[in-house]
Structure 1
Amino acid sequence: MSRHNAPDTELLTRSQQKVTEPPLYRVLLLNDDFTPMEFVVELIMRVFRKNEEEATRIMLNVHTQGQGLCGVYPREIAETKMTQVNQHARNSGHPLKCRIEPN
């Protein structure tokens, strides 16, 4: 008599959940004729955690192109960063503005 030794197999059913990434938003600084460049660089380094070289590059984009991209984030984070920039600028007496837009 031969005996077939097949391993027991078990059918596993996994419910597949589709995980979607949250929509992303661009955080933009807008140029004005009054906010000092040094203030803008310091603000970018502080709020967006950019190094001095990156912050200077963004500041120059703001100055020459009218706006500069500081980062792309999920909506809640983008809104928080926008609020931080606008409040810090206002509290420091500068008219610098920040806005967000869908990526």
Structure 2
Amino acid sequence: MLSGPIGNETVRAGVTQTSVTEMTAGPDYDKDGGDAGTVVVTRTKTVTKRPNLYRVLLLNDDYTPMEFVIHVVESFFQKNREEATRIMLHVHHHGVGECGIYTYEVAETKVTQVMDFARRHQHPLQCVMEKK
């Protein structure tokens, strides 16, 4: 008699999929010579894992005008004037300020957009991302 699970696990884009195949064998052969007592059961369990999140941060410098920073926060992070001003003042007083928390791809895109926009307008504003 054979008995026991055979496992297989696949991880793809935050989704873990586990397949377990159980094989149980009864009497070795039936009267026609076939494998009479074997049963194969496959169970698949899908577990979805939340994606990692990243903080998008602006870094203070001595040259970028406060109004420009407010404009960046309003434009790229969809903050109203009051929230953008609060973030800008936090950056100004503490050296760094959080503009939002996003998945990796979104955070990376926002950092690139802000950096490109700042360079086009000849400002040294720095935008970075860090894992939360």
Q: TM-score under structure 1 normalisation?
A: 0.84
Distance 2:101 2:94 in 1: 18
Matched, 1:100 2:116: no
Amino acid at match of 1:75: Y
Aligned-pair CA distance for 1:36: 0.5
Matched, 1:72 2:101: yes
Q: Structure 1: which 4+ aligned runs deviate by more than 4 Å?
A: none
Number of aligned residue pairs: give it: 90
Equivalent pairs: percent with the same residue?
57
Structure with larger Rg: 2
Q: Find the counterpart in structure 2 of residue 40 from structure 1.
A: 69
Amino acid at match of 1:17: T
Name the SS of the counterpart of 1:78 in structure 2: helix
Aligned-pair CA distance for 1:57: 0.5
Structure 1 residue runs without a partner (length 5+): 1-13
Distance 2:59 2:121 in 1: 16
Q: Find the counterpart in structure 1 of residue 88 from structure 2.
A: 59
Name the SS of the counterpart of 2:91 in structure 1: helix
Q: Aligned ranges for residues 7-22 of structure 1 at < 5 Å? A: 15-22=44-51
Q: Find the counterpart in structure 1 of residue 111 from structure 2.
A: 82
Structure 2 residue runs without a partner (length 5+): 1-42
CA deviations 1:33-77 (Å, max 9, x no partner) are 000000000110000001111111100010000000000100010
Distance 2:48 2:86 in 1: 35
Q: Find the counterpart in structure 1 of residue 56 from structure 2.
A: 27
Q: TM-score under structure 2 normalisation?
A: 0.66
